[in-house]
Amino acid sequence: MPEVKRDNGVIYRKNLDQLHRFVSWFARTLHLSHEQVLILLLNFVILILGHLTYLGTIPFRNSISDNYFTQKRNLVNTLFVKKGWGWTIVVYVLTFLHNSKRQRKDLRQSLVRVSLVTASWYLVTQWFFGMSIIDRIFTLSGGQCVVEEVSTLVSSSMHCRRIKGEWTGGFDPSGHVFLLNTSMCLLLFEIIYSGELTRWDWPTVALCGLWEWMFYMTCIHFHNLVEKLFGYALSVGSISIVYGLVT
């Protein structure tokens, strides 16, 4: 039987065409640009890569579980990630104030988008008529705050940490995944809308690089896969609604 020769170039072009059709469909569905969809897909790939890294290092967890980035008090986490939305807004304002080439209407729409995304961040991670959305999901699924083996009712995960308790027992959507993905998308989407990369955008690129690294670390060391995917889905939903409506 004659050997069938495979044309790798044809296969590559076929796969690339399928990817392009998928991105186009995704962009139409979410009312986003191709570039914006690619940013979302990149972070999804990083999330899966982080989880695969976790699975691949399970036999060595005892030796790597206590590294710098698994410590919640590490400098990057306490100085940057825990204040992540503040840093995101500071960098956005820095870029916004020096982007004089954009028309007033574009700048106004940019402010509306950032305000709406900030509102979604606040509702998901900080407050939603009491507990945040993430904390409500956790407690409704059976989660509770445990302080020295005694369960207690608290108002939020932040309160639980303040009294040195452990937030345990329920479904815990990843707030870090939500925060970092939302922050990166907000900053990079606004660069796309500006239409050019200026010297004032480099702080944005640098901060997004840091956020991407911490996103990867989070996906390796914290939460199970479903909790990470849920945090990512909340972020994509928030970003897509805002950027699909306010263009």
Active-site residue numbers?
176, 223
Cα separation, 165 vs 204, in Å, equals 35
Note the maximum CA span of the chain: 74
Cα separation, 205 vs 209, in Å, equals 6
Cβ-count burial 24-59 (b if 16+ within 10 Å, e if not): eebbeebebbeebbbbbeebeebbeebbeebeeeee
Helix (H) or strand (E) holding 167: strand 166-168
Cα separation, 103 vs 113, in Å, equals 15
Which pair of structure tokens corresponds to residue 77?
Answer: 């986490």
Chain-centroid distance, C-alpha 158: 20
Bridge-based pairing state of the strands 150-152 and 144-147: antiparallel
Residues paired with residue 147 on neighbouring β-strands, in sequence order? 150
